[in-house]
Amino acid sequence: MTTWQIVILASIVCLALKTVGYLVPPRAFEHPTVARTANLLTAALLAALIAVQTLGAGQSIQVDARLPAVAVAAVLYALRVPFVVVVIAAAAVAALIRAVT
Amino acid sequence: MAERSADEKKALRAALAVGLATAAYGISFGALATVSGLDIWQTCFLSLVMFTGGSQFALIGVLASGGLAAGGAAVTSAALLGTRNVFYSIRMAPIIGPGFFRRAAAAQLTIDESVAVASAQTSLPAQRYGFWVTGIVIYLGWNLTTLIGALIGDLLGDVSAYGLDAAAAAAFLGLLWPRLKERQTQAVAVGAAVVATLLTPWLMPGLPVIVAAVVAIVIGGFNLFARKGTTA
């Protein structure tokens, strides 16, 4: 697939998902297990993406400047620092570590 | 313009506060998307058409680690993260009411924030008003800041020197953080992170993230780690 095909396909799928509830009678989705699992799915994917972004290097695991940067981000989120500031701080921590090592 | 009720004013304030805060995420997305290999047009297309932050970040995250070969995994990750919008749209349908064009526009604006603001209001007019104002403010802000971020990312060039790869992980953490209140969600997050990490050396880039979604299905399906009385 080309980048454009990936971008367009993914966009259409995501947009289609948003329209489902306006088209389909809701009964099929009312089961609590389905609703609960859908909620948890979001958390699972985000957590998996964090792990891969922090530790993955292609098809291997690599501990480097990203790990302390994400740890700093976690501390800042816990202190309720705004999103954009945390993202910039994480980038700065990683860049700083790379500059001095 | 008709006089707004107190309810609607409250909804408007919530919409503007959430809208402005979220629009700022767009800068991060735009910058990360261009350094992940997308051009400015592709980056803006995602914000214009896909318009659901988690899925957009997921798509560029998988492409950044796996390249075009991980295209299928990138689309699947974005789609899986977008499934929560199905449940949002079900909740919003009675609030939005009938009408093809109205529903089509509402579908595009159905995201975490517009649904959250609408759900927090008590009267139907305020819910409807909160949904539309939040959705429109974020749509405009998100697309404008995506473009600004994309232009910045385009200028930056080499990713790792600036620590933008770490910024991507920090951005995902920011999306996850508000969801970590329940013990069950925490268990899913830890389990999925462990599974994705352990599978990384064995599977094609992008696939570990998708397989890690099984953790949510197992824990959700059997309702493990749930506190008593919070089964739904």
Please report, for residues A41, B15, B54, B146, the alpha-carbon distance to residue B25 in angstroms, rounded to integers and kept in the order given: 22, 16, 11, 8
d(CA A98, CA B107): 44
A25 interfacial to chain B (CB closer than 8 Å): no
- What was the pLDDT predicted at B230? 47
CB contact under 8 A, B96 and A22: yes
**pLDDT, chain B, mean:** 88
Contact list, B21 vs chain A (CB under 8 Å): 82-83
B163 interfacial to chain A (CB closer than 8 Å): yes
Mean pLDDT in residue range A51-70: 92
A79 interfacial to chain B (CB closer than 8 Å): no
**A31-47: per-residue pLDDT in tens?**
888 878 888 988 998 99
**B171-186: per-residue pLDDT in tens?**
889 889 988 999 999 9
- What was the pLDDT predicted at A26? 66
CB contact under 8 A, A40 and B220: yes
Shortest alpha-carbon distance between residue B154 and chain A (Å): 16
Residues 6+ apart with CB under 8 A from A27: none
Tell me the two tokens of residue B201: 């050396």
Confidence check: pLDDT of B6 > 50: yes
Confidence check: pLDDT of B226 > 90: no
Provide the residue ranges of all domains of chain A, joining segments of one domain with +: 1-25, 31-62, 64-101
Q: Name the closest residue on chain B to residue A6, using Cα atoms.
A: B71
Provide the residue ranges of all domains of chain B, joining segments of one domain with +: 6-168, 180-232
